[in-house]
Structure 1
Amino acid sequence: MRHHQVSLPPFPQAQLASPVASDIVHCELTAVKESFHFVAGLCSGTSGAILLQPIDLLKTRVQQSGSQSIRATIREIAQSPNAIAAFWRGTVPSTLRTGFGSAVYFTTLNTIRQHATPLAVVAAASPGEHGRHSSSLPKLSNTANLLSGAFARAFAGFLLMPLTVLKVRYESNLYAYHSLAGAATDIYRKERIRGFFAGYGATAVRDAPYAGLYVLFYEQFKKRLSTLYGKAESTVGATHTSTMGSSLAASINFSSGALASAACSFITNPFDAVKTRIQLQPQEYKNTLQAMRRIVAEEGARSLYDGLSLRLTRKAISSALAWMVYEELVRRAETTWGRTVSGQV
């Protein structure tokens, strides 16, 4: 994996023997950390959004009809005058939504977890779980991981909901939008502010459980894979420490992210399908319950899993990539911060 260079602002060259000077450095370091989590989330979300936009586009097109297959959708898009541009249609709103959504999500999640760490009761680890681990994040109980992930995602989803609506409609072929400004103007003219939050109920019902379960599963998979690595390492007489090498940690984090995302995508896909219908056809699909009933009555329960393979593929890769990059940046930054402070003591 390509390593990211983390540059930090210089700290004042003061003698930290003084409590006042020590407090100043601590406050500056805290501010830098909070800003860094936003930047790290922005970088990880943006990279995944650009890379995986064709999959997101296909998912939207398949879900909008309830009958068209993935293969037929690919053929239809490929017949466009500019096929490459057609597959990446909606990249700008998608990148803005995913990039800033990840930034807000990771920043909020980190803040919640930092404040919850002294209060949460972390389950006692089994004797085999005290070896090396891949995580750079606070250790919380299963309940705390579940709640912190759900709240952070619901908050980020609300803030970024207007961009989500723009992204979905821009990707769909039900609307002939040629620019984000034109799309925003049309939505406001026809639906006012409410139009920019169409489908938030279904989005929150989808994203809050997804994110909560994701953080829970992600941490559990990391713990299990790290433990398996520790056992394998002990058989060859390796010495255990509290951390492991960067490349191995990144591999464990990526695998854990992919597994967690696959499980959560399957559980929450019906709400994703409903959300897409509400955002594309708000006049026909009024709310989550009514939309779900209508889809099941007219097209069968199987339609609630339209686009599952595409969403599972995209979410597994994007989530795994985002969390791997995020944790690696945090790991490197924490190491740099520790050296910076210890070097000035």
Structure 2
Amino acid sequence: MSKKNGDKKNFSTHFIAGGGAGFTEALCCHPLDTVKVRMQLSQRSVRPGFLTVAVKIIKAESPLGLYKGLGAVLTGIVPKMAIRFSSFEFYKGLLKNKTTGNVSTTATFFAGLGAGTTEAVLVVTPMDVIKIRLQAQCHSMTDPLDIPKYRNAAHAAYTIVKEEGIRALYKGVALTALRQATNQAVNFTVYQEMKKRMKTIQGTKEGQELPVYQHLLMGGISGAMGPIANAPIDTIKTRIQRSASTEKGWSRLVSVTSNLIKKEGWLALYKGLLPRLMRVGVGQAVTFASYERIKMYLDLFSDKVPPPLPIRVK
């Protein structure tokens, strides 16, 4: 197989495996994200706990209330994860040692930064705006007479663009890019280093994969690192994306941050940290385990399927 065809094969493998992993992760972990958003949007001085918020949502809105915004997530998470993993491999290829082909820890870190920024600009920001607007609505999912402003992801996108313009879908893009970049830089670096060490310790042969439970464990540990570091960024971003505002850019950021700290205190910047840790930690565990497994099957399948024969023009 030529290098060009090999690159195409590798790109498509990472793209498909990433998309499949994202789909699996969304189905498993979305309720945790809904609870996190409700906690971040709460402006009460006495902060309700994770279980309190979850039970309140279930009682008032039925268990389906925990899945508000899932449509927006599913629409965006498949391309998001596909872009994350394929762009990470792309940047890693650019940053690797051209002589030895080795990828340093520093190169992995910057490849993660690039992947996080890329996914934030292309997919995550508009997806987050729509998702947060849907999750912020406190209405019953079982009462047909309780009609919310945004009926679903598509309707939310249409309404936001109609009332606020297309730029409203990119509210908080800088903070989202900063959050995603730092998340993925730490996430990929910790995961890749742990994976490398585990393979060395266990004497894993070239091309042989680690057990699923080890991918789950490594993904969970690496996924928990980012939220601890950038929780304030995520809380401020959520407040900015929640509602319409005439303020723009830096003035909006300063206004939201100062009001939050003044009215609710510094600890309010860490609202929703527990469900976010659970959401991202569990999410990354599921994501990496799914990604590695799907990628393994795709590699096995592609090795068994012969390349297409060249078309001969008479």
Please indicate the TM-score interval, normalised by the length of the shorter structure.
Answer: 0.7 to 0.9
* Aligned counterpart for 1:176 among listed residues 149, 153, 162: 149
1:303 pairs with 2:303:
no
Secondary structure, aligned partner of 1:241: coil
Matches of 1:146 and 1:293, distance apart in 2: 32
Secondary structure in structure 2 of the residue aligned to 1:79: helix
Q: In structure 1, what residue type is equivalent to 2:195?
A: K
The whole-number CA distance in structure 2 between the counterparts of 1:219 and 1:194 is 36
What is the TM-score normalised by the length of structure 2? 0.83
Q: 1:71 is matched with which residue?
A: 51
Q: Secondary structure at the match of 1:140?
A: coil
- Verify: 1:319 aligned to 2:266, yes or no: no
> 1:328, CA displacement in angstroms?
2.6
Letter in structure 2 aligned against 1:305: Y
Give ranges in structure 2 of 5+ residues lacking alignment.
Answer: 139-147, 310-314
Residue of structure 2 aligned with 1:50, choices 23, 27, 31: 27
Matched residues in 1 for 2:255 and 2:243: separation? 13
Whether 1:89 aligns to 2:68 is yes
Contact 2:96 2:104 in 1 (8 A): no
Equivalent of 1:109 in 88, 93, 96:
88
User: Which residues of 2 match residues 257-276 of structure 1 at below 5 A?
Assistant: 257-276=219-238
Q: Note the C-alpha offset of 1:340.
A: 5.8
Aligned positions of 1:192-203 closer than 5 A: 192-203=165-176
From the superposition, tell whether residues 97 and 219 of structure 1 become closer, same or farther in structure 2 (CA, over 3 Å).
same
Q: Give yes or no for contact 2:24–2:290 (8 Å, CA) kept in 1.
A: no
The one-letter amino acid of 1:318's match is G
Aligned match of 1:126 = none
- Matched-pair identity in %: 23
Q: Per the alignment, do residues 192 and 335 of structure 1 end up closer, same or farther by CA in structure 2, a change over 3 Å counting? A: same
Shift of 1:143: 1.2
Q: Is the CA contact 1:206–1:268 (under 8 Å) kept in the aligned structure 2?
A: yes
1:310–1:195 Cα change, 3 Å: same
**What is the CA deviation profile of residues 291-330 of structure 1, one whole-angstrom value per residue up to 9, with x for unaligned ones?**
3333222211111111111010111111111112212333
Tell me: CA distance 1:339–1:75, structure 2 relative to 1, closer, same or farther (3 Å). closer
CA shift for structure 1 position 71: 3.3
Question: What SS is found at the alignment partner of 1:270?
Answer: helix
Greater Cα radius of gyration, structure 1 or 2: 1
Q: TM-score, normalised by structure 1?
A: 0.76
1:208 deviation in Å? 0.7
Instruction: Report what 2:142 is aligned to.
Output: none
Distance 1:117 1:330, change over 3 A: farther
The 1:341/1:117 distance shift into structure 2, 3 A limit, reads farther
Residue of 146, 159, 162 corresponding to 2:122: 159
Report the CA distance between 1:149 and its aligned residue.
0.7
In structure 1, stretches of 5+ residues that fail to align are 1-21, 123-138, 231-239
- Counterpart in 2 of 1:142? 105
Give the counterpart of 2:177 among 204, 213, 224: 204
In the comparison of the two structures, how many residue pairs are matched? 292
Distance 1:339 1:188, change over 3 A: closer
* C-alpha RMSD of the superposition: 2.7
Distance 1:117 1:327, change over 3 A: farther
